[in-house]
Structure 1
């Protein structure tokens, strides 16, 4: 019985950690995409002057 409780607890902990990590990575990716959009839209960046 104790073994079952321990393994179930571990599975829950691992799945929660995985969920948080994935959510964090998605959030970082979203921020990075927004930053790139802002950089592309910035008229003062030399790269944006080139066609």
Structure 2
């Protein structure tokens, strides 16, 4: 007799997405990556 898996709940996915966004915003990941990209471009092509 086959057992059925429970359906995936949207709340499980939403909790994961919400946690990821919260973690990224707490660490200012976008700001840090933009700063790194800026200084890499500045070091490759000095003004």
TM-score range (shorter-chain normalised) is 0.3 to 0.5
Computing the radius of gyration over CA atoms, which structure comes out larger, 1 or 2? 1
